[in-house]
């Protein structure tokens, strides 16, 4: 079974850059501790401050679904709501 790769790009709306960064930093440790997670990294865009990229690797879709139901993920959804534009890609590794 192949891992599920998730790349989430979050771009803060003006004035919400610091709040978005803080919310994203807070979710990293508990997400990394989840049984189905093998990678959960937060990156900041060098050329566009206020844009953040999460690169995640999950055992499978079920592990991601369980992650999305956790209290820490639900808290992130509430904190980020209306403060960022979000794009999420779910990828299969080909090579």
Sheet strand arrangement including 51-58: 37-44, 51-58, 4-12, 84-91
In CATH, what number is assigned to the domain containing residue 34? 3.30.70.100
**Model confidence band, residue 95 (pLDDT cutoffs 50, 70, 90):** confident
Distance between CA atoms of 52 and 54, rounded to whole angstroms?
Answer: 7
Domain around 42: 4-91
pTM score: 0.92
pLDDT digits (tens, 9 = 90+) for 64-94: 999 999 999 999 999 999 999 999 999 998 8
- Tokens at residue 34, please? 């989840």
Does the pLDDT of residue 4 top 90, yes or no?
yes
Mean pLDDT over all residues of the chain?
Answer: 96
Cα dihedral sign, 67-69-74-77: positive
Domain count across the chain: 1
* Percent of the chain whose predicted confidence (pLDDT) is above 90: 94
């Amino acid at each position: 079974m192949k891992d599920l790769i998730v790349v989430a790009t979050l771009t803060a709306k003006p004035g919400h850059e610091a709040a978005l960064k803080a919310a994203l930093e807070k979710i990293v440790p508990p997400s990394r501790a989840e049984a189905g997670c093998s990678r959960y990294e937060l990156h900041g865009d060098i050329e566009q401050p206020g844009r953040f990229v999460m690169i995640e690797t999950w055992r499978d879709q079920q592990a991601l679904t369980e992650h999305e139901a956790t209290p820490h993920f639900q808290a992130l959804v509430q904190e980020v709501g209306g403060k960022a534009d979000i794009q999420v890609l779910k990828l299969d590794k080909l090579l």
